[in-house]
Structure 1
Amino acid sequence: MGLLHSDSFDTGCRIEIEQSEDYFHAHVELDGDVPIGPGDRVRVHGDPISIPFGSSAVFERTATVERAGPLARAWIRLASYFDLAELYEVSFTPRRLR
């Protein structure tokens, strides 16, 4: 078990893609509801997917899940607090603040 990455394993996954006037999305669901935590990496194997406009498709693929080690997980959690703090600087008012 390393400090940055601990273990990895392969699992099946389902990819749902839709590209239309109403929706433009791609979702990946791992088989067995594998929990993904901060710093974990998921790599889906296979050729790039392209679908024509106005259609949707579902694909079955294999994915590799690489678990983050304790040091990487702690770093991601710490860094996420600073990323969240950047949102506090955003103003949604339609006029300039003086």
Structure 2
Amino acid sequence: MTRRRFQSGCLVEVVNRFESLGAHVQLDGDVALEPGDRVIVHGPPIVVPYGESHSERRTATVTRAGPLRAFWARHVAQWDLTSLYEVGFDGEPA
């Protein structure tokens, strides 16, 4: 079982605002990620002060999943999704 690994440029966008907190990575080109694939973005951590957003170019290493990891990722993802359905709220006042 061999893994295919390659480098790709990417755009990293980090947002730290009241209405949104998150990070997004967009790989260059037509790279389609499949279940089980891994992406490692290289470089120092990006620190964004509250109320701001930041974008910068980085290099990423993409490692394609082998058949076993891809199979496992597809089936485990189903359980992660169904765990969201278990969230509930009490009808008791605060």
TM-score (norm 2): 0.82
> C-alpha distance in 2, partners of 1:74/1:29?
24
> C-alpha distance in 2, partners of 1:19/1:11?
26
The Cα RMSD (Å) is 2.0
Identify unmatched segments of 5+ residues in structure 2: none
| 1:48 counterpart = 2:48 | no
Question: How many residue pairs align between the two structures?
Answer: 92
Q: Tell me the percent identity.
A: 45
| 1:15 counterpart = 2:12 | yes
Counterpart of 1:40, as a letter, is: D
Identify unmatched segments of 5+ residues in structure 1: none
Q: Indicate the structure (1 or 2) with the bigger Cα radius of gyration.
A: 1
Secondary structure at 2:30 match in 1: coil
Task: Quote the residue 1:76 is aligned against.
Answer: 73
TM-score (norm 1): 0.79
